[in-house]
Amino acid sequence: MSLALKNSDDIASMRIAGRLGSEVLDYITAFIKPGVTTGKLDQLCHDFMVNVQGTIPATLNYAPPGHKPYPASSCTSVNHQVCHGIPGEKILKNGDILNIDITVIKDGYHGDNSRMFYIGEPSIQARRLCEMTYQAMWLGIDQVKPGGTLGDVGHAIQSFAEKNGYSVVREFCGHGIGKKFHEEPQILHYGKRGSGMTMKPGMIFTVEPMINAGRRDIRMLGDGWGVVTADHSLSAQWEHTVLVTDDGFEVLTVSAGSPARPALSTASA
């Protein structure tokens, strides 16, 4: 496995890209309300990235092996959509939950993050799923440190999610990131403590658990990109890009509007 650690120049550039990626989500928050289409949100994100930030939308025309080019500048996944929902004519209604996944490219470096949003007033069950998924992501991030293993991250997420009655999607994972959108290593959101690659300072990767209210099984939509829960249960996802430092971690995808880190002391796995 080829794994290049980031140097100080890389890290400085990744901090900028990460902040800009987060600022797109800050910007779009005010426009998320009942009656808006996911396509309109995508257009607003695109214009902000290109015309205001001077960044490149990484997902637009992104075509990994076996996929046709992705046609939008963001991913908008609603309710039972797990990930990679293509923006379009879908009208958001009161009670929906929405994940917006944004990756920008600035000076060749990628900043990748996503957040959950409530459309109007969500149900108690939907709100709890989103909150527990946020806790799960942070519990995983909290395991990031030199000498720890990637299995520690996955174990913290899986054990917390399952303890609270949820399931973890297995088919998609976090990933290394830098000048390439997807690099080594893969970051599984399940696993055994002490297993997998040992973390080292200079590693940068995403932690982005997808948590389902029902079973973990998924299916692919006919558009070749969108993924939904097989049992039509709700799904939630949060994502940050994280740097392994000399003594722990630094979250790179932070900005003025980033949701606060939750209190993890009462939510430990």
Number of helices (H), then strands (E), belonging to the chain: the values are 4, 15
Tell how far CA 188 is from the center of its chain. 13
Contact 51, 44 (CB under 8 A): no
Whole-angstrom distance, CA of residue 81 vs CA of residue 91 = 14
170, pLDDT greater than 90? yes
Strand partners, 115: 100
Contact 168, 216 (CB under 8 A): yes
pLDDT digits (tens, 9 = 90+) for 184-237: 999 999 999 999 999 999 999 999 999 999 999 999 999 999 999 999 999 999
pLDDT digits (tens, 9 = 90+) for 80-113: 999 999 999 999 999 999 999 999 999 999 999 9
Residue with tokens 């039509």: 232
Which helix (H) or strand (E) segment holds residue 174: the answer is: strand 174-176
DSSP secondary structure string for all residues of 69-94: PP-SSSEEEETTEEE-PPPSSPBP-T
Sheet hosting strand 235-237, strand order edge to edge: 167-168, 210-212, 235-237
Domains and CATH numbers, the chain: 8-251 (3.90.230.10)
pLDDT digits (tens, 9 = 90+) for 15-57: 999 999 999 999 999 999 999 999 999 999 999 999 999 999 9
Instruction: Please give the mean pLDDT across all residues of the chain.
Output: 96
Q: What is the CA radius of gyration of the chain?
A: 17
- What is the amino acid identity at position 77? S
- What is the amino acid identity at position 25? L
Residue with tokens 């080594």: 184
Tell how far CA 19 is from the center of its chain. 14
What is the band of 264 on the pLDDT scale with cuts at 50, 70, 90? confident
Question: Which residues have C-beta within 8 Å of that of residue 115, sequence separation ≥ 6?
Answer: 25, 99, 100, 238, 239, 259
